[in-house]
């Protein structure tokens, strides 16, 4: 199998996990804490991916290819545009070097506070 060399030259995405910043006894105050910083290449949201997400009652607003590291669909991504996105799907393409992952992202309706 032929492998393509992958570059990540479109920007930097910061990966955050959600935490409760509220003090004990106060109402929960969700906020984000940075976990990772990765370079990325922006990918096209294909027609198939777009319509499959719609059929599942979701949407894909952005797809980023990054070097493969452990991430979770519970985490939030903030790329160069500064907007906050929920990671909705993580795929691992087999035909690229170094090992990479495609993050399908959905724009959040309401932004979290960042620690």
Would you state the pLDDT for residue 53? 59
- C-alpha distance across the termini of the chain, in Å: 44
CB 60 within 8 A of CB 45: yes
Which sequence spans correspond to the domains of the chain?
4-114
34 — pLDDT class (breaks 50, 70, 90): very high
Which residue is listed with tokens 């499959």? Answer: 52
Instruction: Return the bridge partners of 32, or none.
Output: 18, 114
Rounded alpha-carbon distances, angstroms, from residue 100 to 3, 54, 76: 12, 25, 18
Q: What is the pTM for the complete model shown?
A: 0.86
For the chain, the maximum distance between any two Cα atoms, rounded to a whole number of angstroms, is: 58
Token pair for residue 54?
């719609």
- What pLDDT digit, counting tens, does each position of 36-86 carry? 999 999 998 765 655 465 566 668 999 999 999 999 999 999 999 999 999
Specify the fold of 4-114. Thrombin, subunit H (2.40.10)
Q: Report the pLDDT averaged over residues 8-18.
A: 97
Residue tagged 């906020």 (tokens): 31
For residues 47 and 3, what is the distance between their CA atoms, to the nearest angstrom?
24
């Amino acid at each position: 199998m032929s492998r393509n060399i992958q570059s990540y030259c479109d920007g930097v995405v910061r990966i955050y996990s959600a935490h409760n910043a509220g003090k004990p006894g106060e109402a929960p105050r969700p906020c984000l804490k940075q976990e990772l910083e990765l370079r990325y290449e922006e990918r096209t949201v294909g027609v198939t991916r777009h319509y499959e997400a719609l059929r599942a009652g979701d949407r894909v607003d952005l797809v980023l290819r990054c070097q493969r590291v452990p991430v979770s669909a519970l985490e939030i991504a903030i790329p160069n545009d500064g907007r906050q996105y929920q990671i909705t799907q993580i795929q691992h393409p087999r035909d690229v070097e170094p090992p990479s992952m495609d993050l399908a992202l959905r724009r959040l309706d309401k932004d979290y506070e960042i620690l």
